[in-house]
Amino acid sequence: MNNPELDNIEVDLFVQALQRRHGYDFSQYAPASLKRRVQLLSEQLECKTISGLIERVIHEPKLLPRLLDGLTVPASDMFRDPTMFRALRETVLPMLASYPQINIWQAGCAHGQEVYSLAILLEEAGLYERSQIFATDLSERALEHAQEGIYPAREAQQWSRNYQASGGSRSLADYYSARYNLLKLDQRLRRHVTFARHNLAADGVFCEAHLILCRNVLIYFSNPLQERVLSLFSDSLVRGGFLCMGLRESLDYASSANDFSAFDESQRIYRLAAPQERKFG
Ligand SMILES: C[S@@+](CC[C@H](N)C(=O)[O-])C[C@H]1O[C@@H](n2cnc3c(N)ncnc32)[C@H](O)[C@@H]1O
């Protein structure tokens, strides 16, 4: 019989087991969505209870990538939220063009769709040769897939529409080859991309960035973890650097909101304020 109180105890024990056995700390993820994902994993792996899943966490180390995949929701799309990519194309990239070298950190890159979208934007703006994209994620599996750049061909139509809506003037098909029911992104788009594992809940500053995209990741975190990540981003950005968040995410209630000023609030694009521009501290 379903008992929410027992489920909560089991989810806490699961999180502890994962942390002690494998070193991954999910204790600061938003509790309701984490619980849903642990329950789903337990069903998918045919465990009668979450306690059954805990036993497997401890005794089946090979299960780890599958567990991380289930807990981290690596869902993405090319040119997801085209209006944001249009704003990047039309207002942010022209400002970044004044830098001789442009460093971009894409945190939580999932299976890479946003990375390739960004590479296309930079290519079309004539900036790619002096750009470096650092694409990071917690999940090794997602990173491996991102590097391959192979996706189901059924996505092509929607991605093409997104690309056009983002202001793309070519055909998205110029950037991939299709075979059977798969499409493979042009691997030249990867020439200035470094993929690496980075855990936003535990690791430190990754690079000195002019632009950070971290979209649809903080939504899964509790407030203290969101604060940690925002302060990491504030330490990683050059002064005046840009931060793009997901359209359902916001700096509204974050105490580190103070470090940033809104550049395009409707598209959740912010800039790191100079210290004297900050209201407090
Ligand atoms: C919903 S996807 C977002 C993908 C992409 N940014 C987008 O908006 O389409 C969330 C990604 O965040 C990653 N993630 C979750 N927790 C993380 C952490 N602690 N450190 C780094 N990445 C994390 C997941 O593995 C997943 O790939």
**Ligand 1 atom showing the smallest separation from residue 246 Cα:** 8
pLDDT at 263 exceeding the cut of 90:
yes
**Ligand 1 atom showing the smallest separation from residue 139 Cα:** 25
**Dihedrals phi, psi of 263, to nearest 5 degrees:** -100, -45
User: What distance in angstroms lies between residue 1's CA and the mean position of ligand 1's atoms?
Assistant: 33
The per-residue pLDDT for 238 is 96
Instruction: Report, as an integer, the average pLDDT of 154-166.
Output: 97
Beta strands, E only, 7-123: 102-107
Q: Whose CA is nearest to atom 12 of ligand 1?
A: 108
In angstroms, rounded to a whole number, what is the distance separating the alpha carbons of residues 47 and 55?
10
The per-residue pLDDT for 74 is 84
pLDDT at 122 exceeding the cut of 70:
yes
CA angle 210, 240, 189 (to 5 degrees): 20
In angstroms, rounded to a whole number, what is the distance separating the alpha carbons of residues 260 and 281?
13
The per-residue pLDDT for 277 is 64
The per-residue pLDDT for 275 is 66
User: What distance in angstroms lies between residue 74's CA and the mean position of ligand 1's atoms?
Assistant: 6
The per-residue pLDDT for 3 is 82
**Dihedrals phi, psi of 79, to nearest 5 degrees:** 50, 40
Tell me which of 24-38, 170-184, 250-264 is least confident: 250-264
Counting ligand 1 atoms within 8 A of each CB, the residue from 24, 84, 114, 137 with the most, and so the one to mutate, is: 137
Q: Whose CA is nearest to atom 27 of ligand 1?
A: 110
Confidence tier at 253 by pLDDT (50, 70, 90): confident
Q: Whose CA is nearest to atom 7 of ligand 1?
A: 76
Task: Give the chain's mean pLDDT.
Answer: 94
Higher pLDDT, 276 or 223: 223
User: What distance in angstroms lies between residue 280's CA and the mean position of ligand 1's atoms?
Assistant: 31
pLDDT at 276 exceeding the cut of 80:
no
The per-residue pLDDT for 278 is 60
User: What distance in angstroms lies between residue 276's CA and the mean position of ligand 1's atoms?
Assistant: 33
Q: Whose CA is nearest to atom 17 of ligand 1?
A: 138
pLDDT at 246 exceeding the cut of 90:
yes
Q: Determine the 3-state secondary structure of 224 from DSSP.
A: helix
**Ligand 1 atom showing the smallest separation from residue 68 Cα:** 25
b/e map 108-118, b = 16+ CB within 10 Å: bbbbbbbbbbb
pLDDT at 250 exceeding the cut of 90:
no
In angstroms, rounded to a whole number, what is the distance separating the alpha carbons of residues 164 and 41?
37
The per-residue pLDDT for 252 is 80
Torsion of CA 38, 60, 68, 180, to 10 degrees: -110
For the chain, give the percent of residues with pLDDT over 70. 97
Q: Whose CA is nearest to atom 14 of ligand 1?
A: 108
pLDDT at 280 exceeding the cut of 50:
no
CB 252 within 8 A of CB 262: no
Long-range contact set of residues 53-61: C-beta below 8 Å, sequence gap at least 24: 53/14, 54/10, 54/13, 54/14, 54/17, 57/14, 57/17, 57/18, 57/21, 57/22, 58/17, 58/21, 61/21, 61/22
| Domain annotation for the chain: domains and CATH numbers | 4-72 (no CATH), 82-277 (3.40.50.150)
What's the chain's Rg over C-alpha atoms?
20
pLDDT at 281 exceeding the cut of 70:
no
pLDDT at 171 exceeding the cut of 70:
yes
CA neighbor of 244 nearest in space, from 261, 268, 228, 208: 268
The per-residue pLDDT for 55 is 96
**Dihedrals phi, psi of 219, to nearest 5 degrees:** -60, -25
User: What distance in angstroms lies between residue 199's CA and the mean position of ligand 1's atoms?
Assistant: 10
User: What distance in angstroms lies between residue 203's CA and the mean position of ligand 1's atoms?
Assistant: 14
Helix 140-148 and helix 64-72: axis angle, to 10°?
80
What does DSSP assign to residue 169?
Answer: -
pTM (two decimals)? 0.93
Confidence tier at 101 by pLDDT (50, 70, 90): very high
pLDDT tens, position by position, 174-201? 999 999 999 999 999 999 999 999 999 9
User: What distance in angstroms lies between residue 186's CA and the mean position of ligand 1's atoms?
Assistant: 23
List residues near ligand 1 (CB under 6 A).
72-76, 80, 108, 110, 114, 137-139, 142, 199-201, 215-217, 246
User: What distance in angstroms lies between residue 15's CA and the mean position of ligand 1's atoms?
Assistant: 18
